[in-house]
């Protein structure tokens, strides 16, 4: 199936969204593209590292690719060592989404994931709406199911506010007093640890170190500054956490981008929540609607 491209514009901002993976291909702020993307949409089938994609049915990791819901255990494909990552081998990032509404400043894409897809129960109908509103990009997710399931959708854009080079000079401040420690497989241990006195403390402005690939518990918003250009991005979300990843696994071989060419702020529920009952629940049941909103704002 061919890949469609939809262009959005509003007040000094332009964006391009692909139907493949519902991916944000580009986001121009005052003429500078601040996300990593591939010029040829067809390359997303073979060269993407989730660039700009909506990942699901469950973003981040589920330990051993297994969880139990209402007494039934479900086995998912494992694609990250012994664990399932970003929905499995054939996640939402590799699907063609259907455009259900479009205008000059907004586009809505929908995907129907059948019962048993990648091992997940229930037929899930998911959608995302990208909206340019003033100097902000707003992402609104919705999902419904016909049987109990788990859902954790997020966007995997890599940002570079300089429009090139690496992101290690970017300065980040994040209202997060706690983070989730992980084991050697990057699965949360179940502990919620304070950031104070550790390298995880971004409650004050701090340069990106390059080692980051952890989930932080959000108490408020995020602000990133690129000091040379002075460009600023502010992030707000309805989600309880954010996976902050500094692009350390980009290699410049499989894709055009080398290490630390971009950073990700994947707003989401916590990794492995289906196996961690004290984490905020990611269970969705028939009659309920999953909703999530994240806004990336670029003050003038």
| 156 belongs to the catalytic site | yes
CB contact at 8 A, 221 and 24: no
User: b or e along 131-142 (b: 16 or more beta carbons within 10 Å of the residue's beta carbon)?
Assistant: bbeebbbbbbbb
Minimal CA–CA distance to 98: which of 106, 108, 86, 88? 108
For residues 264 and 35, give the distance between their C-alpha atoms in angstroms, rounded to a whole number.
10
pLDDT given at position 298:
98
For residue 31, the number of C-alpha atoms closer than 13 Å in the C-beta half-sphere is 1
Strand ranges of the sheet holding 24-29, from the earlier edge strand across to the other edge: 5-10, 13-18, 24-29, 32-33
CB contact at 8 A, 147 and 238: no
CB contact at 8 A, 43 and 255: no
10-residue mean pLDDT profile of the chain (300 residues): values are 96 96 98 97 94 98 98 97 97 98 98 98 98 97 98 98 97 98 97 98 98 98 98 98 97 92 98 98 98 97
Residue with tokens 């959005």: 8
Query: The tokens of 59 are what?
Result: 């973003």
pLDDT given at position 1:
87
pLDDT given at position 12:
87
pLDDT given at position 254:
86
- Looking at the DSSP bridge assignments, the partners of residue 144 are 125
Q: Where are the alpha helices (DSSP H) in the chain?
A: none
Catalytic residue, candidates 178, 226, 266, 269: 266
pLDDT given at position 24:
98
Query: The tokens of 173 are what?
Result: 């401040």
Instruction: Give residue-wise pLDDT tens across range 242-260.
Output: 999 999 999 988 889 999 9
Catalytic residue, candidates 156, 178, 214, 260: 156
pLDDT given at position 230:
97
Query: The tokens of 33 are what?
Result: 């593209």
pTM of model > 0.95: yes
Minimal CA–CA distance to 146: which of 1, 285, 295? 285
Instruction: Give residue-wise pLDDT tens across range 164-222.
Output: 999 999 999 999 999 999 999 999 999 999 999 999 999 999 999 999 999 999 999 99
CB contact at 8 A, 107 and 159: no
First to last CA, the chain: 40
pLDDT given at position 118:
98
DSSP 28-60: EETTEE-B---SSGGGGGTS-SSTT-EE-SB-S
- Looking at the DSSP bridge assignments, the partners of residue 110 are 98, 127
pLDDT given at position 11:
86
User: b or e along 240-250 (b: 16 or more beta carbons within 10 Å of the residue's beta carbon)?
Assistant: bbbbbbbbeeb
């Amino acid at each position: 199936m061919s890949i469609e491209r939809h262009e959005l514009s509003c007040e000094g901002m332009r964006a391009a969204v692909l139907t493949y993976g519902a991916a944000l291909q580009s986001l121009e702020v005052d003429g500078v593209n601040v996300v990593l993307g591939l010029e040829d949409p067809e390359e997303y089938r073979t060269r993407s590292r989730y660039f700009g994609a909506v990942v699901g049915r469950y973003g981040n990791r589920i330990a051993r690719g297994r969880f139990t819901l209402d007494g039934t255990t479900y086995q998912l494909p494992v694609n990250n060592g012994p664990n399932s990552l970003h929905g499995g081998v054939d996640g939402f990032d590799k699907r063609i989404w259907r455009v259900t509404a479009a205008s000059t400043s907004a586009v809505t894409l929908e995907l129907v994931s059948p019962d048993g897809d990648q091992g997940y129960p229930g037929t899930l109908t998911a959608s995302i709406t990208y909206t340019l509103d003033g100097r902000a990009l707003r992402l609104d997710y919705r999902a419904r199911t016909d049987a109990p399931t788990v859902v954790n959708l997020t966007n995997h854009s890599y940002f570079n506010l300089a429009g090139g080079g690496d992101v290690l000079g970017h300065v980040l401040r994040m209202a997060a007093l706690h983070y989730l420690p992980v084991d050697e497989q990057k699965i949360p241990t179940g502990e919620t640890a304070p950031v104070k006195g550790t390298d995880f403390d971004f409650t004050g402005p701090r340069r990106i170190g390059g080692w980051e690939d952890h989930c932080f518990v959000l108490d408020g918003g995020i602000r990133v500054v690129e000091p040379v250009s002075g460009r600023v991005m502010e992030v707000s979300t309805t989600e309880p956490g954010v996976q902050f990843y500094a692009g350390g696994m980009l290699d410049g071989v499989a894709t055009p981008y080398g290490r630390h060419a971009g950073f990700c702020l994947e707003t989401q529920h916590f990794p492995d929540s289906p196996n961690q009952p004290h984490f905020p629940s990611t269970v969705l049941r028939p009659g309920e609607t999953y909703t999530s909103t994240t806004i990336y704002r670029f003050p003038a």
